[in-house]
């Protein structure tokens, strides 16, 4: 049984014709940009077209 809250970062891959194709979740230690960057390194191609909000850390 997990007690407490966990921090996660989420990436969504959109489908070509319909909404969501895949979702990726990764637990992180904090919300600093170096932690958020981990999901890009582990789940995304370097040539991927990434849409993001304007949050900076």
C-alpha 8/C-alpha 6 separation (Å) is 6
Residue linked to tokens 């582990």: 42
Q: Inform me whether the pLDDT recorded for 43 exceeds 70.
A: yes
pLDDT bin (cut points 50, 70, 90) of residue 4 is confident
pLDDT at 3: 75
Taking CA atoms, 51 is separated from 5, 30, 42, in Å, by 27, 22, 17
pLDDT at 55: 64
Would you call 39 helix, strand, or coil by DSSP?
Answer: helix
**pLDDT by residue (tens digit) across 9-33?**
888 888 888 888 888 898 889 988 8
């Amino acid at each position: 049984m997990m007690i407490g809250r966990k921090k996660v970062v989420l990436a969504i891959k959109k489908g070509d014709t319909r909404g969501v194709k895949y979702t990726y979740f990764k637990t992180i230690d904090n919300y600093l940009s170096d932690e958020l960057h981990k999901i890009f390194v582990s789940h995304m191609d370097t040539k991927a077209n990434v849409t993001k909000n304007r949050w900076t850390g």
